[in-house]
Amino acid sequence: MATMRYELFGDTLAILHMANAPSDDEWEGMLVYLRANWPARVVVFTDGGGPTTLQRGRLNDALSGKPLKTAVVTSSAVVRGIVTALSWFNAGIKTFTPDRAPAALRYLGVAVDAHEHLMQQVLKLSKQLTADGLKCVVWSVPSTSRSP
């Protein structure tokens, strides 16, 4: 069973993790995709899974010292620790709690009028991992209806 999904939406790479670390094969597949489709920015949504120490080393090799603006959306303290380690090699990586997903997209420089479309795509990708979607993917459409 897959523990992660990734897809490029415009110039933003979305990476989604379940609660477990990805397999080495999944991680390597993502790195191949990253190198082939070098994005302007990356947004990661994770329910607690993240790269192992060896996988982080492979990511740092793939980055080759090039900064890659990255927002990691999670509630996990463990993932925040992983992000701290990754920030030693990529100063452009930051964490955000799920309720701060709009701030994560603003940090990345995603146009505000593109937030809704991007998050709808992320929700679809999330449901490829689990029928209910990831817990960290929280997005509500602003209400346009009015009460009488």
pLDDT in tens, 25-77: 999 999 999 999 999 999 999 999 999 999 999 999 999 888 899 999 999 99
| CA dist., res. 80 & res. 130, Å (int) | 23
DSSP state of 142: P
pLDDT of residue 143: 40
pLDDT in tens, 95-146: 999 999 999 999 999 999 999 999 999 999 999 999 888 999 987 644 443 4
Give the CATH fold of the 4-129 domain: Transcription Regulator spoIIAA (3.30.750)
Q: Tell me the domain boundaries of the chain.
A: 4-129
